[in-house]
Structure 1
Amino acid sequence: MRHFIFLFASLLLSACAADGLRVIPAADWPGITPEEMPRAETFRSVSQTVGKEARAECLRQRRVSNCDFTILVDLDPRAEANAFQTLDDKDQPVIIFTRSMIQSTKNPDELAFVMGHEAAHHVLAHIDRQSQNAQEGAAIFDRLGKLHGEDGADLERSQKLGAEVNVQVNVKEFELEADRLGTIITYNAGYNPLIGAKYFDRIPDPGDQFLGTHPPNAARIQIVKDTARQLGLTE
């Protein structure tokens, strides 16, 4: 996990305090401008509400052992708009937003939807499942390489290729799974995922590329609409 400029939310909803979110006020961000302040404070509020629901959903599903989310902000002004989920060295789920990602959203619903999506990756144990996919792909290509007489560096390259291919085969489906559960988390947290998903209208469409990292925007928007309809939410 890379180093971050500033800690925004630490030990979100720790096991010993269900509402014990500790947040550094946006006014204390280094170099924050008056224009950034409202969005930063909105992010602080969204972190509290979505964080509570993400933890509750995580505990309901029981797919992972640690449901105590930490939210971090990379305040490097040069970092491109991005948000992602990872694990720290204690396997605690961490959600990271770049400063530009926070500023690129137009309303609390978009912030909540992106956060719900990233939290869903952890709730659904996607990191563990991708690791398993990588191991399975490496094992398959290991056998194929040996059948063709490979060994040493050549066999290692085949194993690495197999791991990468098997991860990419499943990654788009994982994104759609996270969109679906993220819609539920967003809705249960009190935000409108249909408004939140409008963020897709402003980002590049990756299209339906073979072994692409993300599904087409249209597919993602449709799964949000279908899930929202099941929740009784209509446009």
Structure 2
Amino acid sequence: MQQRPIDKSGSRRNHAAGVRRPGWRAGTACALAFMLAWQPGPAAGWCAQSPAPPLSTEVFQAMQEALQQPYLDLFERADSLRFTPAQIEAMRKYLDRARDSCVRLYRQRAAGYQKERERTQAELKRRTASLEDPERRQIHCKIQNARILESQAQMLAEHAIPVAYENKKAKLELIEKWPEELKRIRAEIASGAYHQRRFGDVKDIGVRELVPGQERDVKDGQEAVRQLKMTGLLPPELDNAAIRKYVTDLAHKIGARSDLRVPLNVTVLNSKEINAFALPGGFLFVQRGLLEAVEDEAQLAGVIAHEIAHVTGRHGYKLMKRATIASIIYQAAQLAAVLLTGGAATLGTYYALQYGFYGLGLVLSLDLLGVSREFELEADQLGVQYAWNAGYDPSGFIRFFDRMATREGYVNGASWFRTHPPFYARMVQTRREMMFLPEKPGLIRESDEFKRFKAELAKVTAQAQEEEKNKPSLLAPVQGCPAPEKIEYKPGQPIETICSPSGS
């Protein structure tokens, strides 16, 4: 990469153009401290001493604000950001140290909540014979809240924080590498070489043959659905005809402009999980939480198109074909451990081993089978093509990916958020494909139908939330306890705002 020095005027322009977020300044002092070599010690002392950072404050803040920008904005601005290779490498090392420090902080918090819970449980056991009901209930609530906070801190430490920093490192890599990649893409377009890329025959979508034999997958898909329903592992279908019709019509519109060779069977599930998945043979499941999370119709179209691409690419079939007995046994053991410890998996995930269950919520580590990178990149490319061919803005996929990478809880089990393939590779693959697609006027991002659908969905969501208040859960079996203050990491929020010892 050509070295492009940063001058004061340039860095001020970058700083001014950066997207400012609430709470950014509050986390800056601690973030600067993280840039130093981390020193073991009590969490409360992590930000107490702050030697000079390896980058000037001006450059550091300009880079941090650039990393908070959406991928699509960075694709447009990367060539104008004047950071040197040395500055980029310094920031990369900082991000690794900041991630490790933040993970350690929340592991310590989880351990503290565990000790508090164990002390309170010991007190309950010691005093149980003499406790009056009101005091007993207070102790029950204290134990329950400690358990909730412990679980939340563990989730942040093991999933949300690493994913947030992985996302930032991908954006740093984009700043570093995209200018040269953009030159190569433009050269391919100018020479016409881009027509020779794999699946480059986009004008033949629907006629071309990607992988013969989709029809043979229907039986496996039907059997998987039957067993999921029989065992009660599938969430109930959403009881709202208008919402089901909207999602089904949208999926059929995209499916009709894809490479599907089998009928598309669409089911909307009444579950708050932000998830969608496809079974072999054209069985598509979309969960209520995903419908709540998308911000416009193009984002929903991008997700559905991605799932349809798993079907047209016969990824479930290929998964089963490549799996070995040893890897299946190993993954089944992994899944059992997740389920027994209250992890993010659902029992339905088991069917990935037998039926090629493939979707956003797939918890299994597919890199053990050596297929995750290939299949996800392929579905990214084909999904963008299908959304575009159906008349939707293909940027919806990138925008949804970017937003969900900072969504607490979603990153816990989603197969999109794995380090293989890396975020950068997936974003560049998607952006490349968008640039190679022929121009099409009037691409849809929003629609009146989507707005009406969202209004109807809001009623369903409100009802579901009201019903959930009165439902016990594994973490909160005691009803009516004052809820503990939640540690929230919201979409778009700088991760540094929760990574200071006082952050919450």
Note whether the superposition's TM-score is higher than 0.5.
yes
Of the three residues 250, 258, 264, the one matched with 1:69 is: 264
SS at match of 1:53: coil
Alpha-carbon deviations, 1:164-212, whole Å to 9, x = none?
7775421122111000001111111110112332111112278xxxxx5
1:196 and 1:166 mapped to 2: Cα distance? 22
1:233 and 1:224 mapped to 2: Cα distance? 16
- Report whether the alignment pairs 1:48 with 2:252: yes
- Report whether the alignment pairs 1:218 with 2:424: yes
Structure 1 residue aligned with 2:81: none
8 Å Cα contact 1:133/1:167 also seen in 2: no
8 Å Cα contact 1:168/1:213 also seen in 2: no
Of the three residues 284, 287, 300, the one matched with 1:111 is: 300
- When residues 214 and 75 of structure 1 are mapped into structure 2, their CA distance, relative to the original with a 3 A threshold, is farther
8 Å Cα contact 2:319/2:369 also seen in 1: no
TM-score under structure 2 length normalisation: 0.30
Structure 1: runs of 5 or more not aligned: 9-22, 27-39, 60-66, 142-155, 207-211
Structure 1 residue aligned with 2:388: 187
Q: Which amino acid aligns with 1:82?
A: N
Q: CA offset at residue 4 of structure 1?
A: 3.6
Aligned length: 169
1:53 and 1:230 mapped to 2: Cα distance? 18
- When residues 69 and 214 of structure 1 are mapped into structure 2, their CA distance, relative to the original with a 3 A threshold, is farther
8 Å Cα contact 2:387/2:393 also seen in 1: yes
Q: Larger strand proportion, structure 1 or 2?
A: 1
8 Å Cα contact 1:171/1:213 also seen in 2: no
1:157 and 1:127 mapped to 2: Cα distance? 18
1:96 and 1:166 mapped to 2: Cα distance? 24
8 Å Cα contact 1:130/1:167 also seen in 2: no
8 Å Cα contact 1:118/1:182 also seen in 2: yes
- Report whether the alignment pairs 1:6 with 2:240: no
SS at match of 1:131: helix
Alpha-carbon deviations, 1:59-98, whole Å to 9, x = none?
3xxxxxxx1111111112xx320111114xxxx3211111
- When residues 165 and 103 of structure 1 are mapped into structure 2, their CA distance, relative to the original with a 3 A threshold, is closer
Structure 1 residue aligned with 2:241: 24
8 Å Cα contact 1:73/1:96 also seen in 2: yes
Structure 1 residue aligned with 2:433: 227
1:143-158 alignment to 2 at 5 Å?
none
Q: Which runs of 4+ in 1 moved over 3 A?
A: 40-45, 163-168
Structure 2: runs of 5 or more not aligned: 1-227, 335-352, 354-364, 412-417, 441-504
Q: Which of the two has higher C-alpha Rg? A: 2
- Report whether the alignment pairs 1:84 with 2:286: no
1:104 and 1:165 mapped to 2: Cα distance? 25
Q: Larger helix proportion, structure 1 or 2?
A: 2
Alpha-carbon deviations, 1:87-136, whole Å to 9, x = none?
4xxxx32111110101100111111110000000010010010111103x
2:391 and 2:330 mapped to 1: Cα distance? 48
1:110-149 alignment to 2 at 5 Å?
110-135=299-324, 138=326
Q: Which amino acid aligns with 2:251?
A: S
Q: CA offset at residue 216 of structure 1?
A: 2.7
Structure 2 residue aligned with 1:152: none
Structure 1 residue aligned with 2:402: 201
1:89-100 alignment to 2 at 5 Å?
92-100=281-289
8 Å Cα contact 1:172/1:213 also seen in 2: no
2:330 and 2:403 mapped to 1: Cα distance? 38
- When residues 226 and 131 of structure 1 are mapped into structure 2, their CA distance, relative to the original with a 3 A threshold, is same
